[in-house]
């Protein structure tokens, strides 16, 4: 079961974006839509009354959530999504990679051209029409298998050269393990020797990648992409919150920011059920850390 779910912030177009991804990805489908209440919203949200609030969708069985809100947190490349096309499982992996690249790059912006690189015979990095960034890679069929979708965290600015520290920290928080680490052999832009050119960790049974930026001027982490962790009960929620949250100013409605600036949503695993209770939305708006008992 996937317990860490990436959530992506969209400026009024969450439903449109989710439908787009469902149409272009293998196994893509929209699975659930939650709506804003029709009344009782605070002034800054009244324009959204009755509109979609979140749209959950899947790509190749992997869950993501689109948040429908305003322009406050545009997405950037600090958290992207690696897509592994493995010829060991798909004889047409290269063709399928190229087809998806064409769909994602239409109306988007190429960050690294689709080409051969030392780490992959076919790789490209693109920001799609909504600004979400994807790394498409033809993997080595002789290597250790990895999931099709892996969130990738790019450490820059205040978090520069802390990717290894972050992977070890997250493995401790979630009882996971650090996997392959590939350090920079020498100074590469802002990346110090020994900083991670690539690293990975398995957290709650899911793989995540991390790297330190090798170029200047890369945007750092924001709420544009956050990671929602589903907790089994208040005790587990309290423990996760205590370890992750370091900035009181970032605490709101179950959202928090960790020591690296990564945005998390620490929620109970039955949040959808709790939100159906009378007054639930108003109760949530009044919380920082979520207190399950306050939903009544």
pLDDT digits (tens, 9 = 90+) for 74-108: 999 999 999 999 999 999 999 999 999 999 999 99
Q: How far apart are CA 21 and CA 64, in angstroms?
A: 10
For position 143, what pLDDT does the model report? Answer: 81
Q: How far apart are CA 244 and CA 171, in angstroms?
A: 12
CATH number at 79-212: 3.30.720.110
Residue 68 near residue 12, CB atoms below 8 Å: yes
Write the pLDDT tens digit of every residue in 186-231: 999 999 999 999 999 999 999 999 999 999 999 999 999 999 999 9
Q: Answer yes or no: same fold for 4-71+222-295 and 79-212.
A: no
The tokens for 208 are 């995540």
Share of the chain above pLDDT 90, in %: 96
**Angle subtended at Cα 259 by Cα 258 and Cα 260, rounded to the nearest 5 degrees:** 90
How do the domains of the chain map onto residue ranges?
A: 4-71+222-295, 79-212
Residue found by looking up tokens 């439903």 in the block? 15
The DSSP 8-state label assigned to residue 106 in this structure reads: T
Q: How far apart are CA 57 and CA 4, in angstroms?
A: 14
Q: What's the maximum distance between 2 C-alpha atoms anywhere in the chain?
A: 58
Write the pLDDT tens digit of every residue in 225-244: 999 999 999 999 999 999 99
For 256, counting Cβ atoms within 10 Å of its Cβ (0-12 exposed, 13-18 middle, 19+ buried), the class is: buried
For position 120, what pLDDT does the model report? Answer: 95
Interval 22-43 mean pLDDT = 95
What are φ and ψ of residue 32, in 5° steps? -165, 150
Write the pLDDT tens digit of every residue in 118-171: 999 999 999 999 999 999 999 998 888 999 999 999 999 999 999 999 999 999
Residue 59 pLDDT > 90, yes or no?
yes
Which fold is adopted by the domain 4-71+222-295?
2,3-Dihydroxybiphenyl 1,2-Dioxygenase; domain 1 (3.10.180)
For position 150, what pLDDT does the model report? Answer: 98
Share of the chain above pLDDT 70, in %: 100
């Amino acid at each position: 079961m996937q317990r860490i779910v990436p959530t992506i912030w969209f400026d009024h177009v969450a439903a449109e974006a989710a439908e787009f991804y469902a149409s272009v990805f293998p196994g893509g489908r929209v699975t659930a839509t939650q709506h804003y209440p029709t009344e009782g919203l605070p002034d800054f949200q009244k324009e959204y009354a009755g509109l979609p609030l979140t749209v959950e969708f899947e790509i190749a069985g992997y869950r993501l959530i689109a948040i429908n809100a305003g322009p406050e947190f545009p997405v950037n490349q600090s958290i992207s999504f690696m897509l592994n096309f493995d010829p060991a499982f798909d004889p047409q992996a290269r063709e399928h990679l190229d087809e998806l690249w064409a769909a994602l790059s239409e109306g988007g912006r190429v960050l690294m051209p689709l080409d051969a690189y030392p780490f992959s015979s076919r790789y490209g990095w693109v920001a799609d029409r909504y600004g979400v960034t994807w790394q498409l890679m033809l993997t080595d069929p002789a290597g250790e298998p990895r999931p099709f979708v892996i969130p990738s965290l790019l450490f820059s600015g205040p978090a520069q050269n802390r990717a290894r520290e972050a992977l070890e920290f997250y493995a401790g928080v979630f009882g996971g393990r650090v996997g392959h680490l590939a350090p920079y052999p020498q100074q590469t832009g802002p990346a110090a020797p020994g900083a991670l050119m690539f690293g990975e960790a398995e957290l709650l049974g899911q793989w995540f990648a991390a790297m330190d930026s090798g170029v200047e001027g890369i945007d750092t982490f924001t709420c544009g992409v956050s990671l929602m962790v589903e907790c089994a009960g208040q005790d587990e929620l309290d423990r996760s919150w205590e370890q992750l949250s370091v900035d009181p100013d970032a605490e709101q409605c179950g959202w928090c920011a960790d020591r690296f600036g990564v945005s998390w949503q620490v929620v109970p695993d039955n949040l959808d059920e709790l939100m159906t209770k009378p007054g639930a939305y108003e109760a949530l708006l009044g919380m920082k850390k979520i207190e399950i008992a306050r939903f009544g």
